[in-house]
Amino acid sequence: MQFKPYVTFLKSPHKLEITMKEKAYYETINVKNEVKLRKLLETLPPFCKQFFIGIEATSSSRTKIAYAYDIGCFFDYLHATNPVCAKMDITDFPISILNEITPMDIEEYLSYLKYYEKDGTEHTNDEGGLKRKLSALRSFYHYYYKNGLIEDDPTVKVDMPKIHEKNIIRLDVDEVAKLLDEVESGENLTARQQQYHEKTKIRDLAMMTLLLGTGIRVSECVGLDMEDVDFKNNGIKIHRKGGAEVVVYFGEEVRRALMDYMVERQKITAADGSINALFLSLQNKRISVRSVENMVKKYSKLVTTLKHITPHKLRSTYGTSLYRETGDIYLVADVLGHKDVNTTRKHYAALEDERRRSAAKYVKLREI
């Protein structure tokens, strides 16, 4: 499938050259993340660098940054609570220090993570946070143990925190309709919000409709360029987590909202660095993830005060609707970009149970 820009409004050769050289959103993010990772590595013991080189081929830039934060948190804990470590700067820790850590030390660390203070700020971790930090530590230890650089791996002797499943927060069908109505009209916004709404309502409706109608991630949405939209085949080209490039298809409602926005978008001269961007801020720069999160929050509060709706909850809303309509968990996993169908099955377990219960009504043994 060939993707072509919907409009071409940069006529001068000079501007066209800028367009061709402009980095894609995901490339820009990867560069920024690499710079951030290098700064984080400067705060860690030197031997940590080898671990990040080792996971380069299998981990995204965001994953590596998350690992760096979590590993840094572990070393901060050792520095604050271990008398031997307290005498050294963290950047002077030798790799042999990993051999001194016992499973009980790690269990105490997990207990500490539930609540601690650092630089005058309180920090807490729920079950999910504890699990992520232990997972990062397991990967870290496993690398050095696998390569014969340490004698033991105490992390495998520590039980992974149990995650209590929570109900999926999503919008009901009537709430989705009401949300889009609110985006379109803006009549229940504050007077100040309505002033901005006149300038952004077509863009906001296009983004909301796209998120609800395709289930793409907010980062995938803001990363779209104009040439990524193909109206001939009703598809958008996105970059998934991990770098995979895929085409996601949309329906007629999404098509209409996007086409309305495209008419407006071609009238805007974007700022340098955002010339190819599909969705722009009021400053004519590529819209940020935070701005989309704030937009979703602003409109969703007009629809429900009991549910905390985020862009990810719109993704859950789409996944739920698709699963209820098709009953195909593999299709849902594929469209949402889940690498493992078990991830999808875990999220929609309640719906699967609902379908299994309904199956009991379809088989009759004797007519009553």
> What is the band of 368 on the pLDDT scale with cuts at 50, 70, 90?
low
Instruction: State pLDDT tens for residues 151-180.
Output: 999 999 999 998 887 777 899 999 999 999
CA 172 to chain centre: 22
> What is the band of 8 on the pLDDT scale with cuts at 50, 70, 90?
very low
- Buried-exposed string 175-213: b where 16+ CB fall within 10 A, e elsewhere: bbebbbebbbebeebeeeeeeebeebbbbbbbbbbbbbb
Tokens 């009021």 sit at which residue?
A: 282
Structure confidence at residue 344 (pLDDT): 82
End-to-end CA distance of the chain: 56
Judge residue 55's burial from the number of C-beta atoms within 10 Å of its C-beta, 0-12 exposed, 13-18 middle, 19 or more buried: middle
Nearest residue to 314 via CA among 246, 175, 215, 195:
215
155 DSSP assignment = G
Structure confidence at residue 168 (pLDDT): 79
Residues forming a β-bridge with 277: 225
Under a CB-based contact definition with an 8 Å cutoff, are residues 64 and 51 in contact? no
pLDDT, mean of residues 271-284: 95
Residue 152: C-alpha distances to residues 143, 144, 245, 338 (Å): 11, 9, 40, 33
Which residues does 224 contact at the CB level (< 8 Å), separation at least 6? 25, 236, 238, 277, 278, 279
Domains of the chain and CATH, by start: 25-157 (1.10.150.130), 168-358 (1.10.443.10)
Please give the residue that has the higher pLDDT: either 319 or 362.
319
Instruction: State pLDDT tens for residues 78-119.
Output: 999 999 999 999 999 999 999 999 999 999 999 999 999 988
Q: Residue 280: pLDDT above 60?
A: yes
pTM above 0.85, yes or no: no
Q: Alpha helix locations (H) across the chain?
A: 13-21, 25-41, 48-54, 61-81, 83-86, 103-113, 127-146, 173-185, 191-214, 218-222, 252-265, 289-300, 311-326, 329-336, 341-347, 349-359
Structure confidence at residue 339 (pLDDT): 82
